[in-house]
Every structure is written in structure tokens, then in C-alpha cells.
Amino acid sequence: MHYKSKQNLQSLILKSGRERSLNNRHPWVFSGAIKTLPNAQNGEIVKVETNNKELLGYGFYSPHSQIACRVFEFSTVDILLDATYWKEKVHQAYRLRMLLISPNTNIYRLIHAEGDFLPGVIIDVYNDTAVVQLLIKGSERIREFIFEALYEIGLKFIYLRTKQNTQILEQVGVESGWVNEIRSMPIEAKENGIVFLIDIEKGQKTGFFIDQRENREILGNFSNGKKILNTFSYSGGFSLYALANGAEIVHSVDSSKDAIEMCDKNVAINSFQTKHKSFVQDVFDFLQHMDEDYDIIILDPPAFAKNAKAVANASRGYKNLNLSALKQIKSGGLIFTFSCSQHIDRDLFRKIVFSAAADAKRNVRILKQFTQPDDHPINIFHPEGEYLKGLLLYVE
């Protein structure tokens, strides 16, 4: 579908009194707030209107979702949603990234969905390659404009990565694959001058955990001469920063064999083999049985709470994990502890770590609080876009 000059958009009309969250620029319209459904297909752009037929904005319609419409533009006047409109969104996001990303980094998130006013779109850049995730039908329908903009900003390769559950739930029709030319895996890219090999086809997420860049830099500042344990290491993001900043020894632990293989390769291309050891092992198990005296432990587990119902179980998981590390770390040691579960907010995470510290019966102080980096912006009207939190603990 093309949204060219003649726009004939259907209206989604809200129940009276239900426009408040839209007046506050929250981009989600829940199905319960709708008085009259638009006569539109999944993914079509609709006009969102008050009960009095006043225009509030434009959004992607998702008739099968609880979030029935995701607004990408708040406006009380008509706007032409043509190719230029969509391409400009990508260019705007790119201009912001060029302010944020230093020249020795070419790994960054270009589009962070609602955080860049583009619901249903995630784009990560690795050197000259963009990995595009289209999470709703609406974003699938504008994909050609997005691709054009990516080529305009100088990217050479585009890989589309879709998740099977999105394809079913949101009826996104595109399959994973290269949009144009095929590249062989892994590709090479750099973060703060450190080279990483990245498999964007088979790796986790879009191939790399870009969201820990700033926190890895902070670890680097503490690493000189230290013995460091990096748990849930994946391809060695934190490990490489520690090694590049003079760590005496770094151990990386991950249950995925593929992740550890990539981690070993990353250590090798940066020539740090003599100071690094890796373990394909369950972290809980490793922490129970470890005998080294580490100065620093990093805990960066996957999201234990994938939805609101899982919060109680996930909280226990985070508590056990932190308790194990708090019991084991040597006196005067540091723990970098994280949670990327959106459903566990900053306050709850801190309470969980507090409760682990109380059980460990040790003096624990918070030296720093971590968050997601600046290329994962949080739309102030959409707090759901905030997900990564962490603490730097000093343990006596």
C-alpha cells in the first residue's frame, strides 16, 4: 500500500472522555477505548478522532491486538503521509545518532520504535549493514520507504529479521532474509574501537547487545589489574572491554555454545587469548561451585520476566542470582548487576537486590545506577520504552 497524495484514511473514533492519554501523547490506543472501529485492514493507517470528530493524530491499526492502534503522529491538522514523510523519520533518527555516536563506534540502534516515533520498527546498524525488525503489519507496509532512507544515509546492506511469534500474532508477512545483496556471516564492526564479530542472521537479538555499550565503558574504567567474572557473557561484550582496559584475567560464562564460540573468536581477533578463559555452563551452577576470588562480577541475565504475569517468578530468579554473587565476591569487590525485563522497574529491581544483600549479611553500597544508552531513547510520553536498569555495588 502506498500513502501518496490522495489520502483516503478511515477514522477510528474514541469513546467520549477516553482521549486523555492521547492528549498526553501516549502512542497506544487500547481496544477498550474505541467507540467506532475503522473500516480498515490490519496495518492500515487510520485517523484517530475524538467522539466529537476532532483529529488527534495518525496511527497503525492492529485489529487483533489489545493495542488496537499505535499512533506515530500527533496532529490536529491533516498531514500528507507520503514517501518523504516516512523517509524523514529515518533521517531525523540518523541525525540524532550522529550527535551521539563517536567515530570509533559503528554499532548503534538507529530506530528504537516509539522512542523514535516509529512504532513497530527496530533498526540496528552494524558498520555498513542495517538489521530491520518489523514488529507490526503497519510497519511492514511502509518498509520500502524505510529501505530507501537507509540506502540514502549510506548503508549498503539490509537484513530483515522477523520473529516467528510476531509473524503469527501480528500477521507480519515478511520472512527473514537479505533485502538486496547477501553478505556472509559473521560481519565485523566496532564499538569504541574494539572489534566484534557479529552474526546478524543467527545471533541473539539482532546479533549483539548494543544496549550495554555505555555500561561496558564504565566497566572498562574499573578493570585495570582486576580478576573479572563475566556471567551471561554472550559474545563477550563486557569481557572485551575489561581485557582492553588491562584486566589481569577475565572469565566468560554462557550456557550457549554458539555464544561462547563467538566470544572466543572476539577475544582472539583482539589478541587477548592469554588473559581469557571461557565456560559453556549454567551461570547458577557456575556461581555455586566457583573457587576463584574475583574482584568484579558482572550479572547480565536475559529478561526473566517476559510479561507481567512472570514478575513474581522472575523476581525470585534475580534474587537468587544476586544472592549467589553477593555471597561469593571478595571483600571490596564490585558487582555490575542488570535487569532488562521491562516489567521489572527500577524500584522493584533495587528492592530485589536489597533483599539479596540483606540475606547475604554484608555491607553493600550502590556506587552507580545504570540505564539504557542514548541511542535507545525513551519517549517521555511512553515510559514502556524504558527497560534496562542496573546497579554497581560495592561489597564489603
276: closest CA among 232, 224, 230?
230
CA 229 vs. chain centroid, Å, equals 23
Least gap, CB of 232 to ligand SAH (angstroms): 3
What separation, in Å, do the N-terminal and C-terminal C-alpha atoms of the chain show?
A: 61
Return the number of the residue (86 or 232) whose C-beta is nearest ligand SAH.
232
Q: How far is the CB of 117 from ligand SAH (least distance, A)?
A: 27
Kindly list the residues in this chain that would bind ligand SAH in the complex (CB under 6 A): 204, 209, 212, 232-235, 237-238, 254-256, 259, 282-284, 300-302
What pairs with residue 134 in β-bridges? 121
For the chain, counts of helices (H) and of strands (E): 11, 20
With a CB cutoff of 8 Å and minimum separation 6, the contacts of 179 are 132, 147, 157, 158, 159, 160
d(CA 238, CA 220): 8
For residues 243 and 283, which CB has a smaller minimum distance to ligand SAH in the complex? 283
**Spatial CB neighbours of 84, under 8 Å, sequence gap ≥ 6:** none
Nearest residue to ligand SAH by CB is: 237
Q: In whole angstroms, give the CA distance from residue 283 to residue 393.
A: 19
Nearer to ligand SAH, 21 or 255 (CB): 255
Q: How far is the CB of 263 from ligand SAH (least distance, A)?
A: 9
Place of cell 516509539: 114
For ligand SAH, the closer of residues 146 and 200 by Cβ is: 200
Q: Which of 338, 307, 344, 340 is nearest to 322 (CA)?
A: 338
Considering beta carbons, is residue 238 or 318 the nearer one to ligand SAH?
238
Which C-beta is closer to ligand SAH: that of 33 or that of 299?
299
CB of 258 to ligand SAH, least distance (A): 8
Least CB distance to ligand SAH at residue 264 (A): 14
Instruction: Name the minimum Å distance from CB 281 to ligand SAH.
Output: 7
| All cell numbers assigned to 306 | 517476559
